[in-house]
Chains A and B, each alone.
Chain A
Amino acid sequence: MIAFDPTTPAGTALALLPEVVLSAASLVVLLVVAWKHQGPADSRRAGWLALASLGLTALALVWVAANAPEEPGLGLMVALDGFRYFASALILLVSAGSVLASLGYLERERLVAPEYYVLVLLAVVGLLFMVNAQDLIVLFLGLETMSVAVYVLAGYNRGSTYSAEAGLKYFLIGAFASGFLLYGIALVYGASGTTNIVQIGAQFGEAELSLMAKLGLGMLVIGFGFKVAAVPFHMWAPDVYDGAPTPVAGFMATAVKTAGFIALARVLYTSFQGSVLVWQPIIFALAAASMVLGNLVALAQKSLKRMLAYSSVAHAGYLLCALWPGTPLGMSSLTFYLVGYGVTSIAAFALLGAVGRDGERDVTLGDIAGLAETRPWMAFALSVCMLSLLGFPGTIGFIGKWYILSALVASKFPLLAVLLVLTSLVSAGYYMPVLMAMYMRPSRAPMVFFDRGLAGSARVAVAVGIIAVLALGVWPGPVLQLANHAAESLAQTAGQIVARR
């Protein structure tokens, strides 16, 4: 055990070890790519290097989690709590999943440009900074680093106008959202005199928020609302998910959403923990609108990718429900649900990327009809994903929703819980047809899936995802414990503020 002191410069570097390792690794990958960027083999090499970098970063994360001091002190730029480690580990996991899914996909779509993996790594650096930020400046810069990389990734398939549209749309909306976020940060800074998330909490306390602080809070929530695609800030999501390369859409739905929610939760629970009554109505409205609109509009979608996009809007609604109570229980249900949604979606998008055909971006129900006959394992995996997204018992989606419900009921506000259950029932209306098409309808064109199996690497990602969905669905204990621990560590930071006042 080598405990370090994060108040010194060397200690700061050690506290940021995962981020430093990943940044350095992305530079190495960039250098390798600069020399070797000709054929598919070079692209594949860059992909494996990116995976190795993510693995190294995970090791560094474990080291920091084991050696960080218990009481790091207040006023730091980066947080050293279980909340950060949990979220970072989840982000690294789903990012590794999307890299694995990309390996085969990029080759099949003839997008052999190894810079892809450099951009993914840089986006992950930004995401890690988003979840470790204990200062609004770091939070904003992390968000921008991630956004810049993902704008390019969304428009990576330059041959396709839809991909270009996705990139441009995400860029314009993202710039708009960043403006809101930055304005919110400026107003909060003006009202509190500091950008440190913990010190803002100490400054505001339980007192009535000033108008400036309220405006700042509102703009922060709007900025995050865009990033996590909550209604009414979701308009970009279907077009962007549809046009972007499928593994990138998976990355956006899982890793980016995770970081957005974690950062939002940290700001709300730490900076504005004394003004729960101010932000609860906002979160309630966003959650209710996202669940209702996301699920209803998803019913009308023909393309599976657009359907998953609206389903991701609906899941943003469920996650906002978990955010609503403002209790450690709600927080731990949020982190647990993020795990469930992350592993399920990454597998679902990897599968969609495999059944998609080049030249035609829309995968419709007709295209997967009879998949169970030709590709029984793929059909089984996609069914498990759909059931988990639906919240079917035996899958992690069920445990996650049940946990959110218990947090809502515990805080004596059953209206959101009722909405959650009702809209989940509605969602069966678009998840079940996928299963029925695969198992009950005859295959229209048997040759479609002749060479459209999963690439070996994507198979690993899907297998890990499906095993996690099923295993955690019946035995969620260990991850639940970790989620509880993460939530408690965030509550501890908030407790420190109360003690300091």
Chain B
Amino acid sequence: MVEAVFWFFAAVAIVSALLVVTMRNPIASAFWLVCTMLCLAGIFFLLQAQFIGAIQILVYAGAVMVLFLFVIMLLNLGRDDAALKRTPTWFAAVLLAGVLASQLVPALIRYSSERLAFEYTRSAVLADPRMVFDSTLSAAQATLERGVPGDIAKPLFEHYLVPFELTSILLLAAIVGAVVLAKRRI
């Protein structure tokens, strides 16, 4: 079952990633990028990385994409198809993709799950969330029960509650300030 879900997300992610680069309309490609991000978030969830999955949706599919769309709409790239097809751009894209692939493919071939496990045990001090946040046994139990997000939530909403709430006031001040500066007239 998990494997089927993984293949589904993987396939959709690859297809929508291809559509991102082949779509003519920038807005459409931005929306396909959202789809790719959502599929990646799904894969993160399957890997028990719930926190990263949630952040992936909030930050990438949410905030970053809104920014992308704003830029696209403000720059009005919609009518400028021809400029995107010039050879130097394609050449640079292929070059970058080639460099990335030459790094990624050998690494994926060499990496086995045994090797991953070995490296994980070697670097347990940094990789184990229990070590980072709280080293008591009860905390380890809590991690097992509530998952990684629970482990992040506890310090965030208990010890660091005051800075957390203060951040929201900071953001409010920034929003009010931005609106005031952007108003047409005072």
A positions within 8 Å CB-CB of B: 9, 12, 16, 23, 27, 30, 77-78, 111-113, 115, 118-119, 122-123, 125-126, 129, 135, 137-138, 141-142, 144-145, 148-149, 151-152, 155-159, 167
Contact = CB atoms under 8 A, between A and B. Distances in A.
Interface stretch (B40-48, B121-129, B159-167): B159-167
Contact of B169 (A12, A23, A112): A23
Contact of A16 (B162, B179, B180): B162
Interface string B164-175: 001101101110
Contact of A138 (B163, B183, B186): B163
Given A125-B169, A126-B173, A144-B170, A115 B163 contact: no
A445 B32 CA distance: 70
Is chain B's interface secondary structure helix, strand, loop, or mixed overall? helix
B186 A158 contact: yes
B163 A135 contact: yes
Given A12-B162, A77-B163, A152 B180 contact: yes
B177 interface: yes
Given A77-B162, A135-B163, A144-B170, A113 B186 contact: yes
15 contacts: A27-B172, A112-B186, A113-B183, A113-B186, A115-B180, A119-B173, A126-B170, A135-B162, A138-B166, A141-B163, A145-B166, A145-B169, A145-B170, A157-B186, A158-B181
B176 interface: yes
A214 B42 CA distance: 46
A291 B25 CA distance: 62
Nearest to A158: B186
Contacts of A16: 162
B176 A129 contact: no
Contacts of A129: 166
A122 B162 contact: no
Nearest to A12: B162
Contact of A137 (B163, B176, B177, B183): B163
B109 to A, nearest CB: 39
A137 B162 CA distance: 9
A142 B160 CA distance: 14
Contacts of B181: 152, 155, 158, 167
A169 to B, nearest CB: 15
Given A113-B183, A137-B160, A118 B170 contact: no
Nearest to A132: B162
B177 A149 contact: yes
Contacts of B174: 148
A112 B186 CA distance: 6
Given A118-B176, A152-B176, 11 more contacts: A16-B162, A23-B169, A27-B172, A30-B176, A123-B173, A125-B169, A126-B170, A135-B162, A138-B162, A141-B167, A145-B169
Contacts of B180: 113, 115, 119, 152, 156
B166 A141 contact: yes
Contact of A148 (B161, B163, B177, B179): B177
A27 B181 CA distance: 19
B181 to A, nearest CB: 6
A27 B168 CA distance: 12
Given A126-B173, A148-B174, A156-B186, A9 B166 contact: no
A144 B166 CA distance: 10
Contacts of A156: 180, 186
B166 A12 contact: no
A78 B177 CA distance: 27
B20 to A, nearest CB: 34
B108 to A, nearest CB: 35
Nearest to B174: A148
Contacts of A167: 181
Nearest to A16: B162
A36 to B, nearest CB: 16
Nearest to B179: A115
Given A113-B180, A155-B181, A156-B186, A148 B162 contact: no
A152 B177 contact: yes
Contact of A119 (B162, B163, B167, B177): B177
A122 B169 contact: yes
Contacts of B167: 141
Contacts of A155: 181
Contacts of A135: 162-163
